[in-house]
Every structure is written in structure tokens, then in C-alpha cells.
Structure 1
């Protein structure tokens, strides 16, 4: 070690100082850049293309020196690239699984030959990803490419997939989306950010050299994230997946709303993660982990240190010792220095104590690693951390307080727990609302581990078998339907149309029946006090009156559902199964009443209505049987330790039901949601609401907890707006107009919601499919009769299900060391 020739081993272990860093060289990468005249073009159809009259974007290193420039693609380039990708898809998907796997494995050898160039270029561009990590990714996904038809049967690739990342996204996050898409047989268009542009172009060149068909992998560089929206406009694009910071992800979602292209978002950059140290932890190891995680030169997440009060003095003492002599960390700009100074000044004004490696210089783009001891959870530098080597430190007394602090952030990407008490670690991990929990470690990543997040950390799963389904569709489904263009829509006025005239039901014996809605376990009228008439198709006499629900009814329903859902989720699978079996039995006992509610409008005969009731009862029994079949398990780790995957319910979800087969579609979605631990707010079909409202009698006779299932009738658009704007709802399944689909895509970004959006025509037929922020995975179709067909959706509304899941939005994996 530098300057430690006279130090003893005891001295070294007391200070735990690092050895000298190796002298880096970028000669090989510089030579590759010089070969391209330091002006990198687009990579289309297996070769570099540099169109004339294109603007360029410069990339500089940490010292401000120019590294290279990249071309800014325009619409014509996007069209050319899409044509190449379609041809590449035909060639790539036409190969056997074994042949595709061989191509990916050949790339491992190619990387071995060009390891130095890849490593140096990543260092120049500050796109952190080691060649060994890339090799691991290739080996993992090449095996999935070979086993796709064996282990994932009856599935087919989507087609052309666009992978879009932000400027601050790492190369690892980019490749974690590119490789599974290729392994499943798709062609890929990569839209890299500033730091990943040059490495992505180099890897594309190596891919083609390894035998990837021309056009199967293309790279389009641009000036900002809106190039991704330009790519989405091309009708040949089947799916878009985004990774990076949330701000750019929201821009992309809003820009593509209404285009009819599925888009998933993984905002893995800029999230706030908790580093929790209990008194039972190995303090030395925990402090060393804090130093490694919090004070990197370039970090993708912000850490908040939470320490148990009884261990605070020991942790602070160790931090002071370990931080002494640490070098200052470079900031991106002088503007970042202003933000850091403001955060430190605010912390000192609130009474925080500073622990610094050295005294900060008055100005400049360097700042010493700093711990802000005594931070409050509500402080702005905790809620909205600034860039720089700042680590807020908060204290807690009990395990419950630790969980509260860990869940305080709007993000839910990951957390790190340090304790020698395994029981404490497992209980805390299950209580934290984050996607990944590391025990006695941090930042553990591997392609076999499904990665995602709760809340504002996205709804898309990457890695593991769960992450493959976003790039596949069931073989039984038809080809993607024609794309659509965004409609002209005033988002502020959507769902605000005036309700129909208030109807005062006649109380005479011959008057149509008045139904009630179901909120918080009670049948009740709408808060508005209004009712709407239900008429047969084509108009005519009034058949019944149903409540005209609104925003207040949704608020009451969400409050009731959010209270009961945690307890329902903690119930044993067998207890949930018994409740569903009871619900199915109650539905069967009220067969005549339910059949009458289906046939009253004349769309079904009495025989067809009874048939639908029978199938609906069987469907609920199917979901009851499924309750204890959903389970996680142990995942293979390439290093010491263990990884566990635990499926979880999303929470409170909204269901806006379709017009066709109102009872069967309702129980299919209802059973899927509550079987997996969710609570629901259902909006019946505006045209055919009677079956759902009659089902309230079945719910009242069941033993489901009050508030678990809520049914609110009324204007579909108004209730859709109320659901979209409620922050507690985690997912929405929607059948409705094209305007409603577009509104949800545009609005459900803060916080992010999992959406399943179907646009249907006036006759109830589905004409287009939108999937915002995540995608459909597995569906099995059940033929009922010539005119009755319904989807069985295993694993619907589940976080982190197994390979049978339709929605694998988040898998909680944590490592026990």
C-alpha cells in the first residue's frame, strides 16, 4: 500500500485503507475511436451508416476532453432502421433455438478477444459494465435462447423491440434488456443514452461479427429521449422498453400515449434506497459496505443510512475512522456543487452533525465524502437528494421504526439490511415495500435474479425467467393488431362531461328495480344521490336504475380496500381458497337471479345466461384452487449466499369491466385479483351493469372481509379519471374507449401504475390493445361455446409470480449471507 511500508498488519486492519488504484490506459479504445475518425455513425443493417446533413452530439470524459461525437438520427433514419429490423427479425426468428444460442455463445469468444477495448471504452464513457459481467449475461441468456421452446412452450416473439435508455443509464442495464429480447427471437433497435452510445455501437459491431443476422440488432443515436418517441411512431415497432431515470421515462410515456405501442418502464436511476444497520450487525462489515455503496464516483441510486440507536456511536466512530483520508469525489458540474452546499447548509441548520473525510474546498467540482448525522425523514435532502457524496443518517429504535423509515421514500427499488439475526432479516425484508432486499450485502446483481421495484421504481421485471415474458406473446393470440394514432384529447377535461339528468325512480310496484352499489362491505347509494337508467340495446323502456357513482365513492372504496388488503394478503393461501370456494358456491345458489340479470337486456337467451353463470362459478373455483399454487423459491446464485424470490400482491387494483360477457369477465378478473392477495374496486360495464350489481348479493353472503371487493357503477370516463388520479391504486385493468386508453397511458405516471388497456367498439369487441408501463404475459383461452369466449389469466395482479404469471411486475429477491 502506498505510504504504508512502516505499518503493521494490525494498523492496516484498523484503518482498512484501500490499496493504490491501478494505472488505467485507454490506448485500445482510442485506436478504435480513431479508426472511426471519432465520429460514430448509426448502426443499421449490420454496418455503420453516417447520413449526410445530420447534427451530431459530442461526448466528453470526466476531465472535459472530447471522446467522440455521435449522429443525431431523424425520422428517415428511423424508417430505414425499422425496415432493417423487420428483415432481421425474419432471419433471426427463423433460426432454431440451438442456432441462436450458438450465436450468443460465439459472442463470448469475441468479447474475450476484445475485452480490453470494451473495458477501456466503458471507462472513457463512464458506462460502468465489466466484460466479465457481459460474459455472464451472454452465458445466461444463451441458455434461455436454447431452451425457449422447451421450457416456455406456446409462446412466440413479439417482433421488433425498441430498447430506450436515458443518458445516465449504465451499459449493464441496457444489455439486461437487449439480450433477453434477442434470446427470445426478437430483433432489437437500441436507442442509447449519451454514456452508452459508443459502447453500444461497439457491441453491435461485435454481435454482427459473431454471426447475428444483419438487422437483428440496430443502434440509433440521438440528442435526447424524444428519439424513443419517434421510434414508437413507426407501425413496425411491436414493443418499447425503457430504463433510466423517471423523468425521461415519464416524458416517453406521455409522448407515446395513444400510439397503441406497449411500453414498459424501469426507472432504476436516481432512486432512494435504505441502508439499514441493526445493533446485531457486524458493524465493521456494515460500515465497509456503506463506504463502498454510498461514495462511488458515479452511483445510480441514492442511499439513506438508517442505524439503530444503540449502535449509533459505534457506527459513527467507525465511519469517521474509515473516511479519514478519503479523497474528494468529483461532481458533474459547478451547478452540482451549489446543490451540495445548499443541502449541507440546510442539514446544519436542522442540527445535523457532519462527518467528513476532509474539509471541503470553498468552491470547485470536488467535494469530500460527507455523512449528515441526525437527518430527519422530512428533510428535503432526504426526500429529494442532490448529486454528490452526501449520505443522510437517521436513527431508529425498533424493527417497526426501521421498516417505516425504509418505506418512507416514494421509490421502492431496493434496500440493504445488516444483521446477524436471520429471523429479523427475513421479517424486515418481507415488510419493506421494495423490489430487492440484500442481507449483509449490497448491490448484488445477476441475470438470474428478477429485478424491479415498487411505487415509483417501475413496474417492469428484468432478469430471471420472469423478465423474459415481456418479450413474448402467447402463440394462441393473433398477430399484433393495427397500430393507432393518438386522438386529440384535452386531458384536463376528460371524464368531466355533465352527468345525465337526475332521474327520480318511481316508487310504485310496477316501477323498474333500483340497484345499489357496494362500498366497504355495505350496499349503498352513490354519494351524488343520483341514479341512471339502464335500457336495452337500441333504447326503449327503462329496465332498472343503478347508482351514478363518482370521485367520492372511489375515495371511500379505496380507503376501505387499503385498510383490509394487508390483512387479506397475510391470510394463508388455504384460507383465501376457502373464501373463494364459498363465493363460487353462493354464486351457484343464486343461479336464477344472476341469469335473470344477464338476460334482462335481451343480449343473451335464458339458456345462454344460465350457461354463463355455470362457467363463472367454475371459474371462481379455478381461482380458489390456484391460491396455494403460486409460490416463490430459491434462485441459483453464481457466488456464495442464497437468493429467495417471494411473490407478492400489488395491493389495491381497479377493474373497469368490458361490455361483453359482464358476469364471466368480472369473476375472472375478480378471482385473479383476490386469489393472489389484492383488494379491488370494480366499475361495471356502463351498458350492462346489472350482472355486477346483482353479484352484490353473492358478496354479501360470502365471508370475504368488508372492503376487499367494491363495486361502483356510473359513468366509465368519470370513474376512470378517479381511479387514475388515486395514488393508492397500484394497477388498472381497463376496457373502454380509445380516449380512455390514451388518458390512462398519459396520466398513470405519478406514481407509476401497472396498466392493461383494451379498446373496444360499441358492440363490445376488442379492436386494439394497449399496455402501458408493462406488458401482458401468459393467457389461456377457454372455449365456452360459439359466442362465449373468455380469458383465464393465471397470476394476474401478482408481483413476482412464477413462469405461469401474467403480470410479474416485481420479484422480491434478497440474499442471505
Structure 2
């Protein structure tokens, strides 16, 4: 035992007890709070603002003590903040890269202890070393932005909104890269991170950040984030789980970094003592944003359970966030016991309080309610597996794809498992390690963006070329999402015509086969100006969509496993097929759009070249092994998104199709594609003319012509892509300037949009 000289080294290792924690002082943070009378206002235009008529929100720590109160912003504050951010963006952008880097690097200065103490008071997880590392890393990118990321420009005013249980580190992983790239920010922090963010805003301003470049609004409900997003001055929103921005034309990225279920996998080849010690630290000792699920190989189950019981003996109860959480914890434990789970607890649970002992629920099943919907508190479900394949299946059972921890001394097994897990971060013989140099994308329902590394900077940038116009802003319209797109297609009235000149009937491609729609119905494709019927196309419905997605989902894993050179060869072959049918394709563009044959032939030529570009890209964009500020190695590599849905635009119908299709399939995705409603013939002619075996499951269907207006379609997509979470990319419509599909700058942007990133951490002694 620590402090007892009679204890031998053998006994210390057998007991694995921890020494006494070092005493910490929060005197500096307390003095800063006292200076503000423990009532923190809003931070707008470089200074604290505390309107007299604003409500306040009291912040209470886990022990029931009052730390401070924060003001609740009103709509007038949002308007003032947005106007200040516009001015701040201009002033911040006028500085040189060196000047911006100097501000970020010198922001913390000698006030690091104050920030660390305030984080401790507010229980906002962000060690001082992590914050320093973030500042160093992103100040370097601010210095090198124009050199290494040429031809990209900042978005403008960016809103960063976080939930109450989001850590300060996760929040700053958004704030700092956005600032480094030259944007101004409106930050809406959660409850625990609000005081440290307000302090950091003051420190940044003191270091030379122009007034208005960083503004902080605090509030008592999550609707504040929606009000900020509704401002016409905001160009981009980074937020977790807000549907209120649907239909306003503002791009939204979502990072679901709170409450995810993450597997902690222990193989029989692991160092059991180290693994058990780590799982106790991850599940019970650290303030956690995720819910861990322990997966143990059956051959070492008894050994792991015995060590868990030994290590947990004598551990104190863990404080819950509120007394109300105790009822949820008790209900989860009772439900687990009714399903046959056994408990491993450090001590008996107190009769009723906002505390509960660390508890392992042994004998859990993947479908158990306490696994599917984890309750708050120190509960750790334990499941077993027999083979490596079964371990991967358990690890991928969660709808969240945030992270996983793998414990084994077999490096080959670790890398194979890491590759197979659909998560953004994999830690080998470690857990909860992070560094901003590695790009990470939450897989599945985990995230719609990439954070960290150079790849994580692009969410706060857009190509400098005028070929990428921003989306027009609009106000949300009232609509019934459940009835969207269900209106019947206009009827086709039979007309007398010459059979020899009857319009051509096209088919859709599903699972590599040309077929009719499930309903057997068709829609008429009108010539420009409504002069007559050019062709009849399948009238796809919900069953067609289901069949197309199922076919794409079936073939995508095999296509993704093909080597980049094999995918490149398929795209080269597709380009050759396009070359062979160029006259027919040019004619379809001419008839459908009214372009001259010369212009139509130019679009076909550009389309052939674009497919060749994508083939060349296949083996040129890869991951790497970035240098880490600590011992160990790490890998980063891009992965396919999976099944990608594409709704083609009206302008440049063939070129836009091969641009979007090539970027998706070149990265290993499968595609479900909807041709342009106004100009579908070039895409359908391409499908019928190409060799259907050269790209996997390129499935096409047509929606009825009675779709709601475009704004309602965009609003529906933004709404539908939040549950379950999906990455959504919207382009400016034709009538608002449209996307210039001929510009070469589109290539890098489109390629980055078709991948997600994974990082693998491998520690060394």
C-alpha cells in the first residue's frame, strides 16, 4: 500500500493499488470567477457583455457546489453577434498567415494554469497538455495555409455548437482549425465547457485576435444553436444532432462524439493484467463521453472476470450527474439481472443517492436493452466471443462508429481487426488517446465530417474558384415530411403516332441488370420547350429504391476490397466504352438539352477525360504515418463511405454524372443514382451503352415529375439525413449559377467528399 514501507514490491503488484492523488489548487480560477462576480456574460465583439434583463443559468458541480452562472442569450444578442462576426472575419482575414499563427500560439501564454483549474472546476475534460498541443498544431497550419492549401478560401462566419456533455477538447477541435483557416466564429458551448471557452475567448483577444473574430453565446436550451444557424451571415454550422437548420441552405456537419457505444475487445493473446487495468480506467475512472462495452474471448473469460473483481475491490462509488440518474441505473441493473446477467461490483450500492458503485454486467447479449441503450452511471456490459470474426461482428453491432480498443500481443491480429471494424479510431493496447495530427471520421451514425489532420481543415474551407457558388439562403417552409414525394405521376395519354417513330423506352439498371420499374409505369421525357415526347423512362418507387440499395449494399464490400489499380482499370475501361459510343451520347445531349452537336461533343470529350482523371486518382491519394508527440506509431488511411446516393443536377447532365460517379466508385463506394429530372436521357444513354460489369451496382431510377419544389427537396434531405445520420452534400442549383462541372478545381473537392478516415494507434514501450 502506498506510504507503507513494510509492503514488498510483490505485494504492491498483487494488489495493484494506486498511490494518493496529488493535491490540486484552483485559487487562480476562483480569483478569475470572483473578478467577474461569478456571473459570466456573453463574449461579443471582443468584450464581455451582460445585458441587465437576461436570464442566467447556474452551473453546479457534481458535489452540489455553485461554480458560477452564465447569461442566457436572446435573439437581439444573436443578431449583434452575427454582425460582429462579419466585421471580425474581414479583420482576421486581413492579417497575414504569420500574424494569425502568432495569435494562436501566444493565446494561452502564462494563463495555462488558470484554464486548467477552470476546466477542473467545471469538470470540462481537457488536460493542459492537450490544449497546448492543439494550439501548437493549428498555429502551424495557420502559418502554412497559403503554402500547403493553396486555392482554398475560408467559409466566412462559422457557428460551432456543442451539447452540454461535450468535452472542451472536442469543442476546441472545431474552434481552432476554423480560426486557423481564417474564419470568424460564433461558439455556443455546452454547460460544462462554457466558462473555459469564455476565458479562452478573452485570452485570444488579449493575444491580438481582432474583435468579433471569436464570439461566445451561452444559453439555457439547445434552441440557441438553431437561432444562430438561422442568421443569414452564418456560412457553416458544426453541431451535434440539430434538425432545426433543415431547409435554410446552410451546410451542417455533425459530430456524434457523446454517448456512443464503443467496443473494448480483449483477445486471449492479450496481456490480461494490462487490459483489465485499462478497462477499469476507461470505464470507471475517467470522465467519459462514450459508453464502453467489454468484449472478452471465451477462453480467458474466467481470468478476466477474476481480475476485474480483484481490481475493483474497495473502489468507491462514482458520482452520477443527478439524483434522477439513479433511477435509470437501478432499472438497468434490475433488467440485466432479470435477463440472467451477473454483477461484479466494487461495493454495495447505497440505498438512494446520486452515487453508484462501479459495476460489470456479465453475461450480456448484443440485443440486451442495457447494451443497446446504455444508461448513465458506471455500468460496463460484458459480452463474450469465440473467434476473431465474431469479435468484429460484436464490435460493429453498434450503430455508432466512433472508436474501439483492441488488446492483443499479436500485431497481425490487431491490424486485421482494426481494418475490419467500422469505426473512426482504433487503439491497440491503449484507449482514449488522441492527437490533432490524425484525421478521424466517425463511421456509420458517428459523424458527417472529418476532424484532425490536414483532411479535417477542409470542412472550414471552400475552393477559391468561382465555380463553387455557395448555397442560397432560405427560410424553412412548413411541410409534411411523411408525405414527401408520394404524389402520383402525371398520366400518359395515348396519342396516334407512327410506330416507326415511337419514342424510345429506356430501362433502369439495378444490380447489373437492365429492368423495368417494379410498378411497370413510365414517365414521359419532354423535349426542350415541351415540343413533344422524346422517350419513356421507368417511374421508380420505394420498392425500386429498396432493390437498388440492397444490390449496392451486397456488392460494395467486395468492390471496396479491390486494389486501387483494379478500380482504376475499371474506370479506364468505362472511359473506353464512353469513347466508343460518343456519337450516340452527343446526340442524346443535343436532343435533350438543345445544345449544338459541337457543344454536345465537347461535353462528351470532357466526360471521357474526367473518367480518366478519376482512374489516375485511384492510387494517388493515400493515408500515412504522421509523427506523434509521444512514443508509439499511428496509421491513417481513407475508407469508402459505403453506399452513396446521388441525385444528378440538370446542368451538364453527362459530365456531372461521370464526375460524381467516378469520384464515388473510384474510392470503393457503390452508387444508387437518380438522373436529372429535367435532362435524364444522357445519363440513361450512358447506362445502356456502357459495359455494366465494369462498375459495381450502378443503380438508376427516376422519380415522378410531380416532386415538390427544389427548396422542399433540399429541406427534406437535410431533415432525413439526421436520423440515422448521413453525410449530405448539396450543390447550388442551375438557376442560381450552378456548379461549373468543367472546372478542374472540382476534382480534389469531390474526391475528398467520397471518403472517410480512420486512425490506428499502436503504442510502443
- TM above 0.5: yes
Aligned equivalent of 1:629, options 616, 620, 624: 620
Question: Any conservation in 2 of the 1:127–1:195 contact (CA below 8 Å)?
Answer: yes
Question: How far did residue 496 of structure 1 move?
Answer: 1.4
Q: Secondary structure at the match of 2:294?
A: strand
Aligned equivalent of 1:552, options 539, 543, 557: 543
Aligned equivalent of 1:237, options 226, 231, 234: 234
Alignment of 1:236-315 (within 5 A): 236-242=233-239, 249-250=240-241, 252=242, 254-296=243-285, 298-315=287-304
Match of 1:45 in 2: 45
Match of 1:15 in 2: 15
Question: Any conservation in 2 of the 1:79–1:234 contact (CA below 8 Å)?
Answer: yes
Question: Any conservation in 1 of the 2:634–2:759 contact (CA below 8 Å)?
Answer: no
Question: How far did residue 617 of structure 1 move?
Answer: 1.3
Q: Secondary structure at the match of 1:753?
A: coil
Match of 2:581 in 1: 590
Match of 1:98 in 2: 98
Question: How far did residue 66 of structure 1 move?
Answer: 1.3
Match of 1:84 in 2: 84
Match of 1:644 in 2: 635
Q: Secondary structure at the match of 1:811?
A: strand
Q: What is the CA–CA distance in structure 1 between the aligned matches of 2:315 and 2:706, rounded to whole Å?
A: 58
Question: How far did residue 339 of structure 1 move?
Answer: 1.2
Deviating more after overlay: 271-280 vs 334-343: 334-343
Question: How far did residue 352 of structure 1 move?
Answer: 1.4
Q: What is the CA–CA distance in structure 2 between the aligned matches of 1:717 and 1:747, rounded to whole Å?
A: 20
Q: Secondary structure at the match of 2:304?
A: helix
Match of 1:185 in 2: 182
**2:195 is equivalent to residue 198 of structure 1:** yes
Match of 1:173 in 2: 170
**2:380 is equivalent to residue 419 of structure 1:** no
Q: Secondary structure at the match of 2:344?
A: strand
Match of 2:215 in 1: 218
Question: How far did residue 702 of structure 1 move?
Answer: 4.7
Q: What is the CA–CA distance in structure 1 between the aligned matches of 2:129 and 2:288, rounded to whole Å?
A: 20
Q: Give a deviation string over 1:475-521, Cα, whole Å, max 9, x none.
A: 11367465222223222222111111156697933311111111111
**2:481 is equivalent to residue 491 of structure 1:** yes
**2:205 is equivalent to residue 208 of structure 1:** yes
Aligned equivalent of 2:747, options 788, 793, 797: 793
Going from structure 1 to structure 2, the CA distance change for 1:271 and 1:768 (only over 3 Å counts) comes to: farther
Aligned Cα RMSD in Å? 2.0
Q: Give a deviation string over 1:673-706, Cα, whole Å, max 9, x none.
A: 111101101111112111111112333x35326x
Q: Secondary structure at the match of 2:232?
A: coil
**Structure 2: tracts of 5 or more residues without a match:** none
Alignment of 1:618-767 (within 5 A): 618-699=609-690, 701-704=691-694, 708-715=697-704, 737-760=710-733, 764-766=734-736
Going from structure 1 to structure 2, the CA distance change for 1:812 and 1:795 (only over 3 Å counts) comes to: farther
Going from structure 1 to structure 2, the CA distance change for 1:640 and 1:297 (only over 3 Å counts) comes to: closer
Q: What is the CA–CA distance in structure 2 between the aligned matches of 1:206 and 1:795, rounded to whole Å?
A: 35
Going from structure 1 to structure 2, the CA distance change for 1:4 and 1:580 (only over 3 Å counts) comes to: same
**Structure 1: tracts of 5 or more residues without a match:** 243-248, 721-735, 770-780, 784-788, 798-804
Aligned equivalent of 2:345, options 356, 367, 371: 356
Aligned equivalent of 1:575, options 566, 569, 592: 566
Match of 1:440 in 2: 429
Aligned equivalent of 1:146, options 120, 143, 146: 143
Question: Any conservation in 1 of the 2:489–2:705 contact (CA below 8 Å)?
Answer: no
Match of 1:74 in 2: 74
Number of positions where the alignment pairs a residue of Structure 1 with one of Structure 2: 762
Q: What is the CA–CA distance in structure 1 between the aligned matches of 2:575 and 2:56, rounded to whole Å?
A: 63
Q: Secondary structure at the match of 1:23?
A: coil
Match of 2:762 in 1: 815
Match of 2:378 in 1: 389
TM, length-normalised to structure 1: 0.90
Q: What is the CA–CA distance in structure 1 between the aligned matches of 2:705 and 2:103, rounded to whole Å?
A: 50
Question: How far did residue 372 of structure 1 move?
Answer: 0.9
Q: What is the CA–CA distance in structure 2 between the aligned matches of 1:507 and 1:355, rounded to whole Å?
A: 82
Match of 1:164 in 2: 161
Question: Any conservation in 2 of the 1:449–1:813 contact (CA below 8 Å)?
Answer: no
Question: Any conservation in 2 of the 1:583–1:702 contact (CA below 8 Å)?
Answer: no
Q: What is the CA–CA distance in structure 1 between the aligned matches of 2:286 and 2:375, rounded to whole Å?
A: 14
Q: Secondary structure at the match of 1:509?
A: helix
Question: Any conservation in 2 of the 1:274–1:303 contact (CA below 8 Å)?
Answer: yes
Question: Any conservation in 2 of the 1:373–1:392 contact (CA below 8 Å)?
Answer: yes
